Amino acid sequence: MTTADIAIALVLDAGACALGVYWSIGLGRLIGTLRHVPPASAGLGLEPSGASACVIVPAHNEQDSIGGLVRSLRAQDHPSARFVLCLDRCTDATESRAREAAAGDPRFEIVRVDSCPPDWAGKVHAVWTGVRASAWAGSADVLVFADADTTLHPACLRSTLALMKDGGLGMLSLLSTLTCERWFERVAQPAATIEMVVQFPLVRAGRDKDRRAFANGQFMMFRRDAYLAIGGHGAVQDELLEDMALARRIAEKGIAARVMVSADMVACRMYPDWPAFQRGWKRIYTELSRQRPGRMQRNAWRTLVFGTLLPLVTIGGLAWSAGLLLREPMAPWAVSVAVCLVALALQAAVLGVTFRLARTPLWCLVVYPAGAAIVAWLLLGAARDLRRGRGIVWGGRTYAREARRTG
């Protein structure tokens, strides 16, 4: 045993200990989530709700996905569901494919949106236009907002409406089950989603006090009186994350709300290719931070340290200590090996359960450090773009965003 051996082992063990503490906290939060946040499928065991529901879907050039959504809406087994498709300045075959998939089903209504005022976000304006134009939306007990790139399980509305009734909720949102086929969906998407949930824990999103308001715009449902009480989408006209803005207004009004994991009730392909993935998550992180680049930078370094650097340090520490233990079977080296194994096991346990909930293949655990590094890079890039005054490109338009210095 040399002094250098001891020094290196101590440094590597310190990194492993830090990693273990971080993921121990993560394990505690995960257990709390599993205890207090049921999956969306839990509503199937509850008494059905008799509430009428109107699903409103904004769609801007969604010819490749609109057919799958429409077919999934047609399959809904809730008897009083109606569907409004808001076609927002579409220049492709979105409308013809939507009509083909609807096959004359009288439960569908199409609202064309031909323009968008400059002081509105395109998606928000399309939704608000549909809410005001549709008689079904004007009379339904519950308004449901879903994205055009989602598909719903046939029992989705029945289950979520039952959960809303049982919990006395004014708002219910689901974290979609995301597709995992393209390389960036397997490598970067799990880490990107985990980073979002770290910032906005699901347990806190459902608290009456000390709520951390959160919602996912891919699937949100509102009791009519709650939606009207917050002013609807008309009150968040310029928001690029309208779901978060609506959730904050729900919290300000003290209206009960929950966010749950969809458990296959809602599936979504968020982005068709890598450039769109980068643009989309930069927009999400920018708006989650409320345009504060300093906050994004701090989150980036946390993600890089605990998601990439310390796991690699711990793996190195395990290899180093195991090598020393084979050369000199001594208690300190055995302890070092144990510390590294425990830290890596804690990380694997938290990520493994999370991946199972998200329906992400478990082999993706191996590439998680690379995904965390990509997420850190996206966060830093979003902060840099914000400071340089680069606009956010979304839905065929560029939106200006100014950096905020506080927070």
Tokens of 120: 């509105």
* Share of residues in the chain with pLDDT > 90 (%): 86
Alpha-carbon distance values, 86 to 100, 106, 112 (Å): 16, 16, 6
Q: Residues 18, 21, 26, 30: is their CA dihedral positive or negative?
A: positive
* DSSP secondary structure string for all residues of 151-183: EE-TTHHHHHHHHHHHHT-SEEEEEPEEP--SH
**Side-chain half-sphere exposure of 221, counting CA atoms within 13 A:** 31
Whose CA is closest to 70, among 45, 104, 42? Answer: 104
What's the pLDDT tens digit per position in 357-396? 999 999 999 999 999 999 999 999 999 999 999 988 887 7
Residue with more model confidence, 157 or 333: 157
Look up residue 131 and give its amino acid.
V
CA dihedral (344, 345, 346, 349) positive or negative: positive
379/243 Cα distance (integer angstroms): 20
Torsion of CA 144, 146, 151, 157, to 10 degrees: -10
Residue linked to tokens 């478990």: 362
Residue-averaged pLDDT of the chain: 94
The predicted structure's pLDDT at residue 274: 96
| pTM of the complete model | 0.93
Question: Is it the case that residue 33 has pLDDT exceeding 60?
Answer: yes
Contact 140/69 with Cβ under 8 angstroms?
no
Residue 264 has pLDDT above 80, yes or no: yes
Q: Is the pLDDT of residue 333 over 80?
A: no
Among the residue ranges 35-39, 230-234, 322-326, the one predicted with the least confidence is: 322-326
For the four alpha carbons of 96, 100, 101 and 105, in that order, the dihedral sign comes to positive
CATH superfamily of 38-270: Spore Coat Polysaccharide Biosynthesis Protein SpsA; Chain A (3.90.550.10)
Query: Cα(216)–Cα(172) distance, rounded to whole angstroms?
Result: 9
| C-alpha–C-alpha distance, residues 284 and 270, integer Å | 12
Per the model's pLDDT, the better-predicted residue between 395 and 198 turns out to be: 198
Over residues 117-155, the pLDDT tens digits come to 999 999 999 999 999 999 999 999 999 999 999 999 999
Which pLDDT belongs to residue 407? Answer: 53
Q: What is the pLDDT of residues 302-311, one digit of tens each?
A: 999 999 999 9
On the question of pLDDT at 265 being above 60, the answer is: yes
Q: Band the pLDDT of 406: cuts 50, 70, 90.
A: low
Question: What is the predicted pLDDT for the residue at 398?
Answer: 84
Which tokens in the block code for residue 122? 């395109």
Amino acid symbol at 15? G
Neighbours of 305 (CB within 10 A): 18
Copy the structure tokens of residue 343.
């830290």
Q: Where are the domains of the chain?
A: 3-30+293-399, 38-270
The C-alpha atoms of residue 381 and residue 113 are separated, in whole angstroms, by: 33
The answer to whether residues 239 and 191 touch, using CB atoms and an 8 Å cutoff, is no
Higher-pLDDT residue of 322 and 137 is 137
Question: What pLDDT, on a 0 to 100 scale, did the predictor assign at position 1?
Answer: 60
Phi-psi label, residue 299: left if phi above 0, alpha if psi -120 to 50, beta otherwise:
alpha
Q: Give yes or no for a contact between 140 and 82, defined as CB atoms under 8 angstroms apart.
A: yes
Strands (E), 169-271: 171-175, 177-178, 219-223, 257-261, 266-268
pLDDT at 263 over 90: no
- pLDDT of 223 above 60: yes
Contact predicate 283/239, CB 8 Å: no
Percent of the chain with pLDDT over 70: 99
Q: How confident is the model at residue 12 (pLDDT cuts 50, 70, 90)?
A: confident
